[in-house]
Structure formats: structure tokens, C-alpha cells
Structure 1
Amino acid sequence: MEYSDDPPVIRSYLAERDSLIIEWNTGQASRFHNLWLRDNCACARCGPHDRGSRHQLLLDIPEDIAPSSVSVRHGKLKVVWSHGGHRSEYDPLWLHAHSYGSSVVRGRSGLRKTLWDSALGEWPSVRWDRISSDRAERHRLHACVVEFGFVLVRGLGTENDAIERLGEEIGYIRETHYGRVFDLVTRVRPTILADLAGSLPPHTDEVYRSVPTGINIFHCITSSPDGGGISQLVDGHRVAAHLEEHHPDDFELLTRVPVRHERRIQGQVIIAENPPITLDFRGEVAEVRLNERTMTALRADQDLMLPTYLALRTFLRIAYDPIHRIEYLLKPGEALVLDNLRVLHGRSAYKGARHLRQAQVMRDEFFAKFTALTEEMAAGGDGGHYVDASTS
């Protein structure tokens, strides 16, 4: 991702009956309705919206609000409103970023989401030793997860607490019944299938929660001596797109029929029912919840039961197809950070000692840090150039 060297400048404006049209130095134009502009005044009286301190009430603004005067001074748009003579000031950078339908509003700071399959090639990666001193490297870590759904962190080391340092760097570690950090090792008395040395098909973690784990971290302490335990990733959003293209009826069904998942552990019965595919307000795939190991009895209507099973079989068949899978053997000191509601993860079988540590942070905090880093990069003038995934 690159930031333009030329900041947006208001070249001219035109006041219409219910809106202002701003012409930018790029030659583009943006329309802002009077009601929208007045509602987004962030003066001391109305309150700074980005800090959660909004004082202005929408119902206190007349529907026919209109400016009594408009001007551009020192590059900023200044409006005096007919209702009460209230004065508002708008920074052109903020206005441009919040233009109706702008890429900043549509996506996470405009960074594209790249869907991938087995042809992806080199895994996107960052260096841990650069994270603390290089703002661009910190931004890259988050940007890779936003764009590809995952990133490989190299050089983290094999100390047990290293995963917590990484977790605190990208968000806040979420504690569950597994604890703050969970050790994935072969156990004599396993409580979950991950404690066994067998293979695990690609899946979403903890879909039995109403809010599943968000950003997963897997830190390799010891890899298996037999070369097994290979990490396998699948782009769940790519798989959903394939389902929509080739099996649209199945796709539509799995966006509205909930699938029940259940987990009983430590005196808790954790249950959640959600459709396997969640769409955002634009109708685009936002989340994928797919894990047949935690599925319990489906509770669909009689006429939907068999179609739902058939749709799930199709979805799983696509997700398990090697054409959608990439593989990598984590080395000691490396960590994998992935978006659990986008990327399905699994592993091959192994023999011998293997030790991974797992932690998780909430998606909200992770993406909040990404947004802040993106703004810092844009304001800092230090380039902010996104490095292509093929760079190791």
C-alpha cells in the first residue's frame, strides 16, 4: 500500500440546496449533504467523535439545515450554519478520507484483501527483531494479516514467554478456559484432538463461542524430528468465493442457516449457532466458521435439513481440496499469526516430540492497532510502502 505524496486540497466548492460539492486537486469531486456535515462537526461544543465523546444529538439538528456561509481558509472548509449560527471546520484530509464510498470507508484503511490458493508461493513474513524499532515492519505485520489473513513471524526465539510479548505487541491476549497460553503437545490423557499426534483437517477454532477466537498465534518451540506436524492453511474467504461461483444455492443457504457447535469442558457447556458464512453489509464474505469436529446435531427446519447437509459437504470438499491449501513446517523460534475467521488451519500427522504454544488476541484490538499504525504511516511521511508478499 502506498500513500500519495500530494495531500488532498479543496480546489473549489459549490453549494446546492441540500449539499456541498467539493472539487479536489485530483480533479475528482465529492458530495457532502448538509445534514451529514453538520452531524460530523467535531468542535469542542459538538465533541470529538473519534474519541467516543460525541455531544451533538442528531435529533437536535433540523432536517433542512443549510449553511449561511461557506469559505475555505488556510486550506480548511469553514461553514457557518443557518441554525443558531453554529460554526464548523473540516480538515480536507479528513473530508477526503470520509467521502461517500471512499476506499477508506469501504475497507480497512483501503488495503485490499487478496484471495489465494495453493499457488500463493512465498508466505508473507516479518522479522521480530525489527518490530520494536521499525514502524514500517510493525505496520507490515498487521497489513499482511489484513490482506492475506496471516503472516509468519521469524526470529521470535524459543523462550516460553516470547508468545506473550508478541501477543501484547499486536493486541491484548484473551484468556479462556484454555488459559492465557495453551501448550500444544502430545498428552497421555488428551482433552482435545490437537493433543494427539494425528493429522487435523483445516478448520476454524472455537466456533462454539458466540465470539470465536480472533487472531490466533502459534509459536513453535520444538518441531517434530520426523518432519511431520506441517502447518496447513486454507483461505476460507477464497473457498467461500469458489462456493458462491460454482454452487450459488449452497452458498446462499450457508449464509442463513445456523450450524450448532458445542464444547463441554471444566464444568462449562459452551454453545453457539451461526451460519458457516457471514456476510457484511456490502454482501461480501466477512467471516467463515467451519469445523466439523465441534459440530453437534443440526437444528434446521425439516425442509432445510438435507439441503444444509449437502451444502456443508460441498463446502468441506472444497475446503479440503489440496488446490486451496498451502503448507509450511514451522521452525523453532518462528510464529504464525492468522485471522481465525478467515484462514482455516490444520496440520499433518507427526511422530516424536513437538511443542507449539498458542495464544489469541481479539480482532477488534488487532485491527484497531492496524488503523492507528496506518494513520501514523500516512502522517509520518516515511513512505509507508507495503512490501509484496513474495519478499521474505
Structure 2
Amino acid sequence: MSIELVSASVTGDAVQIARQDGRTMVFPAIWLRDNCRCSACRHANGQRLFEITDLPRDLALQQASIQDGRLRLVWTPDDHISEFEASWLAAHELGGELRAARREQPVLWDRSLIDALPAADWNLLRNDPAVELGWLDKYAAYGFGLLRNVPAETGMVEVVGNHLGFVRVTNYGSLFDVISVPKPNNLAYTAVGLGVHSDNPYREPTPGVQLLHCLESNAPGGDTLLVDGFHAAEVLRRENPAGFELLTQLPLRFRFRDAKTDLQAEAPLIGLDFDGAVKEIHFNNRSADILDAPVDLVAPWYAAYRNFAEILKRPEMELVFRLGPGDLVVMMNERALHGRTAFDPSLGRRHLQGCYIDKDGIESRRRVLRRQLGLSKDLAA
């Protein structure tokens, strides 16, 4: 929709802009100066060419007007001129609802998603940018996605990881085998069932994305469990606001140690952004260390922790499905909590390979594909 600017005026330390549709946009003056788009302020690559300390301390606006459909500002004391396109201003309005609308909106899910899992064929995806973008859009909405027909060969999980982003090397290596082994240093390498969890919350930062690729799956059991941690957090917020708030504020230390490693990190179980939207979940009973908290908060925190854990275990929250050879699941590690049912290694084999990639890599790939397919304009331009 075309945006037409009618008039602009300076009110205190802000600029008010009237639009033809009757709406008014308000921008702080310092914000506009810092975001000046002119060639003296921005390199052609979009990076800023000045430091905040380069701006005059007594910076102020001499004039604000609309010329040729653009906002034109004249600054004092340096007589600098800034111009802004109407579409750029509209895309960056700072009102609360408008800011929230720019945020990625997750689609909360439960077990009813079982008949519409976000899936794509690996061969089609890697050869067709439109197919890949469609799958990435679903991954972004649901927090996970399935890839079918990935060759059931050792190392393919790394190939997929490096296609979607950049594989992150950890103490487990660039990839790891999820298989029952003697004397395991992690319960993942046993045949026991695992409750849903986020991986490696003892790292800083926590791995953003986990990939698990099925190579063999003929042992009875070993079904994959997935729960939408964001949905569970919203249920807790609705049913127990005080408990929800406590889990967003009080951090828990997580720890992993073996003969060669001792990793520790702290985070609240539920992380929020500035506006209060859930942005991350850190939940791992096996790696939870000792809660270091004021005495009067310990019992309430444990009550909220138990409440959250019970919500995660509700049958209606759980997606349960079986990965077959060639299936690969990609999960937002701080949203799509994963686990498995127990399996019997004496009656067959279950062999998965996994790796981690950082979330910025896969998010970058999605944005680049949107640009390449002409489906979005870089708002920073």
C-alpha cells in the first residue's frame, strides 16, 4: 500500500508526521539523526560511517518538512540534511503494536499437528529455492521441520547442517552418534527413555538449532517426542501467572562434566524479550545443577518448576512420531523440546547422528532466499 506524507512538525525532541490516511507517526529526533540514510552517514553496504560520539552534543532540529513525498530534516548546529522515504518510515514505526507486528509470530501447536507436520523432501529442497524457503517459513513458524529422504549415510547430518547454516563444533565433535554405548557420559547414549528437554543449556550460548538424522531404526521403541515449549510457557502464564513470572526471573545453573569437560551456564527456564514475549526455553532435568536462590524463593520456584514440567508432560501437548532411516528433524533448541521413548537394543538397532548449528545462520539463509526470490525488501536499506 502506498504511503503519502502530508506534513511534518517538530514537537519538543520528536518529529510528528501526518499521513494522508489520517494516521500520525512520531519519531524521536535523535533516533532519526542516528538513522540518517545519506551517503555521508551510510556506506553503500548499509553500515554506519559515524560514531554516536561524533554527533553534536547540542544536536537539534531546525526544520522538518515534506518535500517530493519524503521527510526532509535540517539539523543544527551542523546544517546536516536527512531525508527519509515514506515507506521506510512506515516500516519502522515505534508504537507498541507496530513493533510487535514486526516480530516473528510463532504458531503454537500441540499433538493435533501430527497430521500436518512441517516436512519437505531433501532432494527437492536443496535444488529448489522456493521449496526451501517454504520449508524454512514453516520451520520459523513451528520451531521445527522434518526433511525426508536424506541419504542414510554417516556424515549427512553435517552436510544438511552446513547447507542450512554453519555446523558448530562442541566437545562432542562436529557431529555425534546417538546410540546405546557402554559406560556413557550422557544418558542420550543409553536405551532409556528421555523426557523432553532443550540440549546443552550448560553452554553459553546454548546451541540454537539441533539436527538429528536417523540412520537405523528397527529396535522396538525409540519414538521421537516433541513439545512446543512456547505453547507450554503460555499455558503456564495463563494458569499460574505468579509461577510463570518467577521462572522468567530466577536463573538456574546447568552443568555438564566428564573427564575432559566442565561446562556451566545460568539462565531462567523461560526467557522473555523486552515486550514480554517468550523467546527461549531452557529445560533439562538431567543437566540442572543446584538452585542458588534466596531462601524465601526456593519453595515457590520449585512449585512453579513442577507446574511447568507437568504441563510439558500433558498428553495433548506431545507430538509422538517415529523417525525412519533417511528422516532428519531440525529443531529450534530453545523452543521445540525433544525426547524419546525407551527402546530395546537387544531386539534391533537405533542409530541417529546429530549436530548443532547456530540459529543466526539458518535465519540468515531464510532472509537471503526471500531477497533472491524477490519476496522482501531489506528494511535497513
* TM > 0.5 fold call: yes
Question: 2:264 corresponds to which residue?
Answer: 271
Question: 2:33 corresponds to which residue?
Answer: 38
Q: Could you state the TM-score of these two structures normalised by the residue count of structure 1?
A: 0.85
Alignment partners' CA distance in 1, 2:10 and 2:169 = 54
Task: For residue 163 of structure 2, give the secondary structure of its aligned residue in structure 1.
Answer: helix
Question: C-alpha deviations, 1:143-188, integer Å up to 9, x for none?
Answer: 2232111111122222323222211122111100000011111213
Relative to structure 1, the CA distance from residue 23 to residue 279 in structure 2 (aligned partners, 3 Å threshold; closer, same or farther) is: same
Relative to structure 1, the CA distance from residue 331 to residue 27 in structure 2 (aligned partners, 3 Å threshold; closer, same or farther) is: farther
Task: For residue 234 of structure 1, give the secondary structure of its aligned residue in structure 2.
Answer: strand
| 1:265 partner amino acid | D
Identity of aligned residues (%): 31
In the alignment, structure 2 segments of 5+ residues that lack a partner are none
Alignment of 1:1-392 (within 5 A): 6=1, 8-18=2-12, 19-22=14-17, 28-48=23-43, 51-57=46-52, 60-61=55-56, 65-68=60-63, 70-73=65-68, 76-101=70-95, 105-106=99-100, 110-121=103-114, 122-226=116-220, 228-351=221-344, 352-377=348-373, 379=375
Task: For residue 116 of structure 1, give the secondary structure of its aligned residue in structure 2.
Answer: coil
Alignment partners' CA distance in 1, 2:367 and 2:273 = 19
Alignment partners' CA distance in 1, 2:306 and 2:104 = 33
CA contact (8 A) 2:214 2:324 kept: yes
Alignment partners' CA distance in 2, 1:104 and 1:145 = 24
Measured after TM superposition, the shift of residue 11 of structure 1 is 4.3
Measured after TM superposition, the shift of residue 246 of structure 1 is 1.1
Alignment partners' CA distance in 1, 2:120 and 2:325 = 15
Question: C-alpha deviations, 1:337-384, integer Å up to 9, x for none?
Answer: 111111110011222211111111112222233334344455569xxx
| 1:202 partner amino acid | V
| 1:267 partner amino acid | K
CA contact (8 A) 2:8 2:16 kept: yes
Task: For residue 300 of structure 1, give the secondary structure of its aligned residue in structure 2.
Answer: coil
Deviates more, 1:201-210 or 1:172-181: 201-210
Alignment partners' CA distance in 1, 2:92 and 2:197 = 36
Alignment partners' CA distance in 1, 2:22 and 2:31 = 23
Task: For residue 11 of structure 2, give the secondary structure of its aligned residue in structure 1.
Answer: coil
| 2:158 partner amino acid | E
| 2:361 partner amino acid | E
Task: For residue 310 of structure 1, give the secondary structure of its aligned residue in structure 2.
Answer: helix
Alignment partners' CA distance in 2, 1:138 and 1:65 = 48
Alignment partners' CA distance in 2, 1:325 and 1:26 = 46
Alignment partners' CA distance in 1, 2:156 and 2:299 = 47
Relative to structure 1, the CA distance from residue 77 to residue 290 in structure 2 (aligned partners, 3 Å threshold; closer, same or farther) is: same
Measured after TM superposition, the shift of residue 52 of structure 1 is 4.2
| 2:333 partner amino acid | N
CA contact (8 A) 1:103 1:110 kept: no
| 2:357 partner amino acid | V
Aligned CA RMSD, in angstroms, stands at: 2.6
Alignment partners' CA distance in 1, 2:227 and 2:364 = 25
CA contact (8 A) 1:136 1:377 kept: yes
Relative to structure 1, the CA distance from residue 139 to residue 67 in structure 2 (aligned partners, 3 Å threshold; closer, same or farther) is: farther
Count of aligned positions: 372
Measured after TM superposition, the shift of residue 195 of structure 1 is 1.0
Measured after TM superposition, the shift of residue 58 of structure 1 is 5.6
Measured after TM superposition, the shift of residue 55 of structure 1 is 1.1
Question: 1:389 corresponds to which residue?
Answer: none
Alignment partners' CA distance in 2, 1:150 and 1:365 = 15
CA contact (8 A) 1:34 1:67 kept: no
Task: For residue 120 of structure 1, give the secondary structure of its aligned residue in structure 2.
Answer: helix
CA contact (8 A) 1:97 1:105 kept: no
Alignment partners' CA distance in 2, 1:265 and 1:47 = 49
Relative to structure 1, the CA distance from residue 231 to residue 23 in structure 2 (aligned partners, 3 Å threshold; closer, same or farther) is: farther
In the alignment, structure 1 segments of 5+ residues that lack a partner are 1-5, 382-392
CA contact (8 A) 1:203 1:344 kept: yes
Alignment partners' CA distance in 1, 2:45 and 2:136 = 21
Q: Could you state the TM-score of these two structures normalised by the residue count of structure 2?
A: 0.88
Relative to structure 1, the CA distance from residue 118 to residue 49 in structure 2 (aligned partners, 3 Å threshold; closer, same or farther) is: farther
